[in-house]
Amino acid sequence: MISVLLVDDEVQFLEVTRMFLEKGRGIRVTTATSGEQALELLGHHRFDAIISDYAMPGMNGIEFMKRVKAMGDDTPFIIFTGKGREDVVIDALNFGADLYLEKSPDPRTQFSEMMQKVKNIVAIRADIQVAREKMRIFSSVMERFPGMVFRIRLEGREAVLFASAGAELLTGYPADDLVRGDPVFGMLIVQEDRDRVDKVRRTALRSGDGYHVQYRLITRSGDEKRVMEGGFAVPGNDGGVLEGYILDLDSICHGSTLPGHQESSSLR
């Protein structure tokens, strides 16, 4: 059930709109006849969307919206304007309105458009919230990840296209330095391991299969560190790009190999 706060000083318009939106359409409407009354409601209730007329006595719709935003409330906001009020539309969007609606002489068309815009904006906001939560979880995991996530191009001049912040703890070099190629990441691999790592990576590029390989890195301080790299080819990049992770084996297993992560015989 979508909950909507509808604000307009015309009581008849509020009631007709509420009846239309609530009639078997999965929307519950709470009405307010002024910005002041709406702010009081917002102090005690959360809504999925706010629809407010612009032309109201006292506090107009944009002033009401500014007050809502100042409260830290990011509820999707739709402004109702009179036809031909482009100046109001521009101000509304500049001050944070998500959408606007022009009042129409055809109530059925107007209500249908309102209903569709409400459902669309609530769905978009829900998708954004899910994406933010995924990013929050990802960021939390990455803060504790004993290694780095990467994207690397092998075809042509080898280059790190992306390195997570864990690169500095793993190698001693900031992620931005590795992306700039200062130093080239491949040169941090112990020389005796480089051909083997390159063979495993290129086999994965040709086959399209995932891979994992253990090798040694030389850190910025000159220490040798055992790591395990796992990854896969990225589709649509001419077969020359890999994405994956590099784990610091010494820090997570005290010198022992992670169980179940030996190099597969086909990639040795």
CATH number for the domain spanning 263: value is 3.30.450.20
How many other CB atoms are found less than 10 A from the CB of residue 139?
10
**How high is the pLDDT of residue 51?**
93
- Do both 133 and 157 map to the same domain? no
Sheet bearing 49-53, strands edge to edge: 27-32, 2-7, 49-53, 77-81, 99-102
Cα torsion through 83, 89, 92, 96, rounded to 10? 130
Last residue of a domain, one of 141, 176, 208: 141
**How high is the pLDDT of residue 238?**
64
**How high is the pLDDT of residue 256?**
42
**How high is the pLDDT of residue 176?**
96
Q: Which residues of 120-137 are buried (b: 16+ CB within 10 A; e: fewer)?
A: ebbeebeeeeeeeeeeee
- Do both 133 and 161 map to the same domain? no
- Do both 15 and 44 map to the same domain? yes
Residues spanned by the domain of 34: 2-141
- Do both 74 and 109 map to the same domain? yes
Q: Residue 79: which residues within 8 A CB-CB, separation 6 or more? A: 52, 53, 54, 61, 62, 65, 88, 89, 92, 97, 99, 100, 101
Mean pLDDT, 10 residues at a time, the chain of 268 residues: 93 89 86 95 93 92 94 90 81 89 75 84 86 81 81 89 92 95 95 96 91 96 95 80 93 52 43
- Do both 129 and 163 map to the same domain? no
**How high is the pLDDT of residue 241?**
93
- Do both 137 and 149 map to the same domain? no
- Do both 131 and 6 map to the same domain? yes
Q: What is the tally of structural domains in the chain?
A: 2
- Do both 182 and 250 map to the same domain? yes
Tell the residue number behind the tokens 């939106």, with chain if given: 21
**How high is the pLDDT of residue 262?**
43
**How high is the pLDDT of residue 28?**
92
